[in-house]
A and B are shown apart, each in its own frame.
Chain A
């Protein structure tokens, strides 16, 4: 049934329908609405989950690592500073091969104290071994959360569902909410490959000497690689049942495009409007939406951009001393192609600033009229900034 749902509640509905057994959370804006409604579901008996209130995000992830080790389905949500505080245990969750699912609402890091959208918080967790999925609207959030449990459990890696603060987390829109029967069919109960069990004692997390550590890491690398194929299978099964499919990347009008926007999150949605306008003016332009950051869909990106001349990467994040982070990833994916598009990097919408259709059009025209990028990253919509001596 289609219901007008807030983005946060689209996450929560998926978590309820996935019959998650343990939820642990520490409140932080702007993810608050997710765990708020989940705690309500638990109190009202709409979910049979154990809801653990903890004293910090670090404890939150520690609690989930413990819970997940016993072979149950687990979930949490966080944002910004909260995710940063979890950092150490994000490595642990992935290294211990625990299929924890987390919703992460992108929030700018402090100082300056800012509760608005900025992707640098989740991108800073790139190398922790978590699968990361960036979502565009409420429907994709709900669908991806359901798929996340299945993907996590099949490859034994944790999954982060990433959504923009406010533009997605606090926005109500129509979302198709599947029935419990439909979800049960798509997502059967979790059957752990290993778990803490007093009847079958075994050791977890011992000292691993150089003789074995490297192989353990290689296993994670293999699991990540496998995740791309599994994601494809899971999406196919989901599409067969629900008739919706997103892909690790989505190419929109890229076949004959000279210039392609590369976007993530809600910027993709606004960019679809810009694309319609530019196409109506006869511009050969397309969009490549990136959904997966890890595993990075390198082959798909190369394939979709094979005959494109220039790409304009829109980054709502920044790596100081380098450039926008998605732009770096795209450059790395393209550089070994014999012929590849020139990569123009743009930074926009940092700390919750609007990324308007006008701004995206400016990005397009700047890319079209330049032969080579002026800089690795051009900051868009910036007010005059003076150097401080």
Chain B
């Protein structure tokens, strides 16, 4: 079983990112589970949401405490949240950032990837300059990073859930898939 944790801020579509990813993995033949951090949500406050995927029916009904991979939708969270909390060794961390993080120390022992999701989302007119909606962009980068699910599955999931501007979201996911920088293991 693979467990994934998404970090974001309330209003960035973090929960939707995990729902879309779960739906895409389901399209790709996996059994899936996705759920938000069980709590209260406020705009701008740190948010977590999770995906589980497996070849068999998922029976585990607990919180995710030791994820295999992590995605960070807002790099300002790196200052306040320990995004590697419980992360398994060699797990991937995908960060929404225009460049390599200056301090790589916290990521030692994990694999790092980054994508300029704000720029890509805005290119495709998703959200506004102060509040870009980066979730579909992030899952495009995520699919490249894990080499699954396929972009066809990602596009199908977006089409199922997002009635307005589905095409722009799919294009943003594609652009992120191409643009993501896979740095690999940080020593």
Contacts and interface: CB of A to CB of B under 8 A. Distances in A.
Given A172-B19, A174-B26, A174-B32, A273 B38 contact: no
B104 interface: no
A70 interface: no
Contact of B61 (A115, A172, A270, A352): A270
Contacts of A167: 35, 38, 61-62
B32 to A, nearest CB: 6
A166 B50 CA distance: 13
B60 A273 contact: yes
Contacts of B22: 4, 172
Given A116-B38, A170-B38, A4 B61 contact: no
A273 B59 contact: yes
A2 B26 CA distance: 10
Nearest to B23: A4
B33 interface: yes
Of residues B26, B32, B33, B59, which shows the largest number of chain A Cβ atoms within 10 Å of its Cβ? B59
A253 interface: no
B34 interface: yes
A350 B154 CA distance: 38
Contact of B62 (A116, A174, A270, A272): A270
A172 B31 contact: no
Interface in A177-218: none
A320 to B, nearest CB: 25
A270 B34 contact: no
Contact of A267 (B35, B58, B61): B61
Nearest to B19: A172
B63 interface: yes
Nearest to A349: B62
Q: Is the interface of A mostly helix, strand, loop or mixed?
A: mixed
Contacts of A357: 60, 62
Interface string A157-172: 0000000111110111
Contact of B35 (A170, A352, A356): A170
B32 A173 contact: yes
Interface residues of A, number: 25
B60 A269 contact: yes
A266 interface: yes
Interface string A268-300: 011011000000000000000000000000000
B62 A355 contact: yes
B32 A115 contact: no
A172 B38 contact: no
B35 A269 contact: no
A270 B60 contact: yes
Contacts of A170: 35-36, 38
B22 to A, nearest CB: 6
B26 A4 contact: yes
Of residues A172, A269, A356, which shows the largest number of chain B Cβ atoms within 10 Å of its Cβ? A172
A226 interface: no
Of residues A165, A168, A174, A269, which shows the largest number of chain B Cβ atoms within 10 Å of its Cβ? A174
A354 interface: yes
B40 interface: yes
Given A4-B23, A171-B35, A174-B32, A270 B40 contact: no
B19 A4 contact: yes
Given A166-B38, A170-B38, A172-B22, A354 B62 contact: yes
Contacts of B60: 269-270, 273, 357
A385 B23 CA distance: 43
B38 A174 contact: no
A168 B33 CA distance: 10
Contact of B59 (A165, A172, A269): A269
Contact of B31 (A174, A270, A352, A354): A174
Contacts of B34: 4, 171-173
Contact of B40 (A115, A172, A272): A115
Contacts of A168: 61
Contacts of B62: 167, 270, 354-357
Interface in A305-342: none
Interface string B119-130: 000000000000
Interface of B: 19, 22-23, 26, 31-36, 38-40, 58-63
22 contacts: A4-B19, A4-B22, A4-B26, A4-B32, A115-B40, A116-B38, A166-B35, A167-B61, A167-B62, A170-B38, A171-B61, A172-B33, A172-B34, A173-B31, A174-B31, A269-B59, A269-B60, A270-B60, A272-B59, A273-B59, A354-B62, A354-B63
Q: Which 5 A-B pairs have the closest CB atoms?
A: A166-B38, A266-B61, A171-B35, A172-B34, A4-B23
